[in-house]
Each structure stands twice: as C-alpha cells, then as structure tokens.
C-alpha cells in the first residue's frame, strides 16, 4: 500500500501539502544546509528565502529537530502561535495508513474522513484532505480483496468435505452391479447341461446299434 501511494506522480515531491514548486525547492535546499543545535520547536530554525526575505506571517516555516534520534521535521507556525508538523511524502503515507489500520483494529469500525482529519488536527499535523481520502480508499480496497480471498479459501474445505461424503456411495453402486452379474453365469451353465444330456442320448443310441 505504501509503495502504491508513493508511485502516485501527483505526490512525487518532498512535502505533499506544499503546493508551490518554487517554495518546495527552496525548502529542500534550506534543509540540506540547516544546522540545529537544540531539540523541539523552541529551538527550531526559521526558514528564510534566498533573497533573505521571510515568508509572510501566516506562512512561517521552521525546521526542528526531535528527540531521541535527532531527526529533522518541517513545521508551519500558524497565526495563533501553534506549530503544525508537515510530513514528507513517505512519512505521511506510513503515518496515515498506520492510523487507519490501528483505528480499525481497536474500534472494529472503518474510520470516516472526518475521524482522520480530527485526529491530525488534534495532533497538530497538516495533511491534505484529498490525501487522507486516497489512503482510506486504498485500505478499503485492500480489505475487500482480502475478505473475498478468505471467503474463497473457506469455501474450498467445505466443497472437499461434500465430495468426500459422496465417495463411499460409488463402491456401493459398483458392488450392486457385480451382484447382478451371476444370472449370466446361470445361463452359461444351462447349455452345458443340455450338452451332457445330448451326449448321454447319443451314447445310448450307439450301444443299441
């Protein structure tokens, strides 16, 4: 499922929710050279364009290092001062699929797109609505295929069992045919009796002569 989503050419970019190709390229170049000393959003490095100009106040991007492995993530600072995480293509795919599968595992129900959106809004993660819908469709189609396959496999033993229950009947029908065969043998013995009687009569006639 992960590979299927990553092969989508529409999302073949570093951060799927970044729509501007110029901004995307600038963010990638900035990240390759950024140096971050501390962990957390409070120690994040503000993204600055090559022209040394900042993005407008409602689109402030920060690169932050997270513990314990020191991995760097992109964050967007909203007007209210909250930091929202932005996943890369692969990170977002794995994250959403994992959440959907765990949701079904623990709640026994298929999540709606609103359920998934609310979860990531509470977790302060930016994921496009259409991206969530694609992941939901992929999981639903995979589960449908698995369900159909399981039904077919479960039906095979039953069909074999039915065939096995019929197998004892075939010897009975064949033995009944064998029992009906002796009358033909009786018919064969009668001509031999007639032959013996005829031979006796002929011998008597010869003696009389």
For the chain, 209 residues long, give each residue's pLDDT as a single digit of tens: 555 555 555 555 678 878 788 888 999 999 999 999 999 999 999 998 887 776 666 678 999 999 888 999 999 998 778 899 999 888 888 999 999 999 999 999 999 999 999 999 999 999 988 889 988 998 988 775 444 444 444 445 544 555 554 444 433 333 333 333 444 444 444 444 444 444 444 443 434 44
> Are both 81 and 136 inside the same structural domain?
no
| Final residue in a domain of this structure, among 42, 65, 86 | 86
Q: Is residue 118 part of a domain?
A: yes
Pick from 155, 170, 194: which residue ends a domain? 155
Q: Two tokens at 48? A: 């600055």
Provide the 3-class DSSP secondary structure of residue 31: helix
- The answer to whether residue 54 is domain-embedded is yes
Domain membership of residue 160 (yes or no) is no
Judgement on whether residues 105 and 11 belong to the same structural domain of the protein: yes
Whether residue 7 is found in the same domain as residue 109: yes
Q: Are residues 96 and 146 in the same domain?
A: yes
Q: What is the number of domains present in the chain? A: 2
Q: In this structure, is residue 150 part of a structural domain?
A: yes
Query: Is 100 found in the same domain as 77?
Result: no
User: Is residue 126 in a domain?
Assistant: yes
Q: Each residue of 30-78: pLDDT tens digit?
A: 999 999 999 999 999 999 888 777 666 667 899 999 988 899 999 999 8
Q: How far apart are the first and last CA of the chain?
A: 109
How would you write 93-147 as a 3-class SS string?
Answer: HHHHHHHHHHHHHHHCCCCCHHHHHHHHHHCCEECCHHHHHHHHHHHHHHHHHHH
Sheet holding 60-66, edge to edge: 45-46, 60-66, 71-77, 83-86, 125-126
Domain that holds residue 38: 17-86
If asked whether residues 25 and 54 sit together in one domain, one would say: yes
Residue 81 carries which DSSP code?
S
pTM above threshold 0.85:
no
């Amino acid at each position: 499922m992960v590979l299927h989503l990553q092969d989508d050419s529409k999302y073949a970019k570093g951060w799927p929710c970044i729509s501007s190709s110029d901004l995307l390229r600038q963010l990638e170049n900035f990240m390759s050279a950024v140096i971050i000393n501390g962990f957390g959003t409070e120690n994040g490095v503000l993204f600055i364009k090559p022209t040394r100009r900042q993005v407008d106040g409602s689109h402030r991007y920060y690169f932050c290092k997270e513990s314990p492995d020191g991995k760097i993530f992109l964050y967007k600072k909203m007007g209210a001062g909250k930091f929202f995480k932005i996943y890369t293509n692969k990170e977002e795919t794995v994250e959403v699929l994992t959440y959907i599968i765990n949701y079904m595992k623990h709640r026994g129900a298929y999540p709606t797109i609103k359920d998934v959106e609310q979860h990531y809004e509470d977790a302060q993660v930016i994921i496009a609505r259409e991206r969530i819908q694609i992941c939901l469709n992929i999981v639903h189609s995979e589960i449908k295929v698995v369900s159909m396959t399981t039904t077919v496999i479960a039906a095979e033993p039953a069909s074999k069992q039915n065939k096995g229950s019929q197998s004892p009947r075939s010897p009975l029908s064949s033995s009944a045919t064998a029992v009906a065969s002796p009358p033909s043998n009786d018919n064969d013995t009668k001509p031999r009796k007639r032959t013996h009687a005829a031979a006796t009569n002929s011998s008597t006639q010869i003696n009389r002569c």
